Amino acid sequence: MIRVLLSEQEIARQVAILARQVSEHYASLVSISYPLVVLPVLKGASMFAADLLRQLNVPLRLEYLRASSYRNGTTAGALRFDVPELTSLDDHHLLLVEDIIDTGKTASVILDELHRCGPRSLKVCTLLDKPSRRVTAVEPDFCGFTIADRFVIGYGMDLAERYRELPYIGELEGCTF
């Protein structure tokens, strides 16, 4: 059984607010020749990114990153991180898009890598934040919801590759992770 934590409507409302905040922040900073580079982290952030991107009002470029630290269940395995050929990111404004920031380890590794590209700025937009679990200094610049230390599924987020397709964010009943 799945208990709904954030309904489709609640998510949509918050994504619209985030899109407005992001658009306002970058409006005067980016241009057609220097677009905002949006970097969603696969697979979890794919659904959030698709909804967010369609409401951004600034010139942008889309580059997906792939990172996964959860191989099975809810226990973190070794972080795997693949960067596609990230050409000409130097001098651009970069926005990392995450589904959830938990310990912050994933975002921290990715941010270190992106810093090496020499960006004009580097910010983080996450739909969910679980600050109680943080073991790194990562703080999101744009955040949809702050949640307690619970394992959530849906809207792109998985438990052993399941439940990503749910349109809402929920918690498995009786799941004590």
Residue whose token pair is 């982290």: 41
Beta carbon nearer to ligand IMP, 67 or 94: 67
Output the CA torsion 64→69→74→77 (10° steps): 160
Verify whether residue 99 is a known catalytic residue: no
User: Which among ligand IMP, Mg ion, none contacts residue 69 (Cβ within 5 to 8 A by kind)?
Assistant: ligand IMP
Which positions ≥6 away from 15 have C-beta within 8 Å? 48, 51, 52, 55, 127, 144
Residue whose token pair is 């949509």: 12
Applying CB under 5 A, does 40 fall inside the site for Mg ion? no
Distance CA 108, CA 85 (A): 20
Q: Where are the beta strands (DSSP E) in 21-136?
A: 36-42, 60-62, 65-72, 75-82, 93-101, 121-129
By the criterion CB under 6 A, which residues form the site for ligand IMP? 41, 44, 69-70, 98-107, 151-152, 157
Least distance in Å: CB of 42 to Mg ion? 8
Binding piece for Mg ion, criterion CB under 5 A, among 18-26, 98-106, 128-136, 139-147: 98-106
Q: Which of 44, 140, 144, 154 is in the footprint of Mg ion by CB under 5 A?
A: 44
The pair of structure tokens assigned to 129 is: 């934040």
Beta carbon nearer to ligand IMP, 120 or 134: 134
Beta carbon nearer to Mg ion, 58 or 111: 111
Applying CB under 5 A, does 170 fall inside the site for Mg ion? no
Beta carbon nearer to ligand IMP, 11 or 101: 101
| DSSP class of 25 | H
Q: Which residues are the active-site residues? A: 102
Residues that bind Mg ion (CB under 5 A): 44, 99
